[in-house]
Structure 1
């Protein structure tokens, strides 16, 4: 356990473990431990880790703990391996049984070497070895209950790398040392990953692909907050406000925090779609023609008739519906206008995050123009030419784009409590040729920030 140079007051320690999946819940003392760790990472002796070199940045974590005698301190860890090593003094070790893993991996690695350049055979053998390696991972919780990694994910297969994130390493080390976990903070340090979706010094929630079953078990027996449910906030019944309406379609002003359509899990039913279904019980078709992210506000188009719905979707697919968004970006954008063009796909290990992928990604193109600059931030108008999920958010934050995340972006940027935690992205206007009347329709919504 690492002790604080200036110990925090016991009364300031968290009474409940903040959810590791809630980025807004990083405890101030855990943040302090993270900043102390950043200071260590910047020492000259850390230069061999080469964190500032392209592709070498890393996710780190700190765990605020209390010793049996009541002394507060923290543990620190890195995700995966560091400089080719699993174990480094001063950092939480991996959660596997080292002897059991060596019994599997050492002969397995020799087999893979003997297969030489036969990539198909090496891949097949690696897949056979993975379950055996995963069986060397076991996790305890505050009640002393121990479960195997594969059991935690059953009946599904655990994803590769499950158990190697900083969070499970830290909790495993705390229990092994008889320390009481209080709060967790995970952050990125060093150069951004090649996918461009992490920024040095920013805090991130535990990943959604590898960590939920593990952390749900490891936090058992602790007074812990549940994971946040985004989209469950109460929204006034009068929303969404109608901006334009005729017998064929309706355009509404979606508020931030209201889903466009119900959530996939079935737990989140409230949405623009369900509310419009109540307002227009005789409407045919699916109503909502396109989607805005939960955190995005502004102009949203819906059809009352199935034929109109199909016609509008065709206009979207042909790029004949013109959209304009306005956003404040957290940073100084270089230049005054341009076009961002790089492919994207979902991060399968951390949905719903999206990442840059030049091989498997789909085309994503966005035009942009600076509207104002103030206080280290930049106001920008976006004109998307494609409609990928989180396209504007990724094109803003990624170093290949504007390298300045949208203010308040809980996935790709930093919190903005001064704006009530909302994302400063608004769909300002929508323009199209009405498929039923042939009239030119232009609908705008006042930008609320």
Structure 2
């Protein structure tokens, strides 16, 4: 993951904790010894700096996992795990004895077939226990709402459990606490702590060095900073933040917009939830109008927004001068080759708004605006609909050379284009219940408005 917030202020707080661990004024304590089955001699140390509504700052620290904590002269409030170790042990207790008994049987079983059966039963019991654990997790999000972990993961549909420890990393703990208390995050940073236990009751020895046996505590002059992890945090932080942040600096932010969310606010209170307002909520120093381009509500993919007026002005200029390059991926509902569509090409179409049927666009060779679209047929594949039926579709990449309303949807669906709509198109095709428009902005290139560096972002679709 890309660090969602600036790390500098929080890094100062990490250094204070580092110094406290060095001089003994802060102690890292464990409730249990490291397990032989995994590397528990490593924990993450996290720090968060927030702003209260009155403008004052509040600082927080935590560690990853459920069995470690910091005690002593702490420079900030310590944030406890979202779910306590006693709650987790209670959830695991029901199947724990049987799982251990199965493990012992597997070790001595000589029949491969019988061993496989025992492993399958053990896997089932472990899954039941983990599901019970994950049902205990919920997070306060940037919009003020609390969401269950299984809701965020869409477990009812996917039936896939996340990795063990999901929800126990530093970033989800810190951010959930901040949003629960109506605080605005300003800076978030994490680093690693390595430690060893010489005896069962020994005080941990901590080091930023990768050498666990090194007697030097925190030999690095400054803590090495790490972003939230891809294996666990990336599954839940976009829902907690309301944004999947791919890049951010003081001038711009690039996000992967999810399908079903507006790019900019619409008319009426029910249309105020959008990417622009989510960015402004997370980054209060952002300008009032950060949007420089938009995607249809049903389209997912890459969006760049500006934090400053200067960046906004320069990005707008690049879009108007067609210096920004974009690429989209779509699944078109049929086999284009059977309609005689070439493998690649460029089309020029002319459309205008249909005032009797807003927001639909209609063909008008005389008064319509020209839309130029380059396409490339990637392959033919099978699409599984929400009702589990399967049908052939064509994966197409589109490069728009103009920025007309519904340009790519019309390039696919209109009879002057392919004559075959994109899967899930509610305006120019058909959308089944539980389906979405399968159109995704997968690549975006522009020149950074401040550094003048050419930037390229790539974000594959989830279909």
Q: Which has the larger radius of gyration?
A: 2
- Give the shorter-chain TM-score range: 0.3 to 0.5
Q: How high is the TM-score relative to the length of structure 2?
A: 0.45
Q: How high is the TM-score relative to the length of structure 1?
A: 0.46
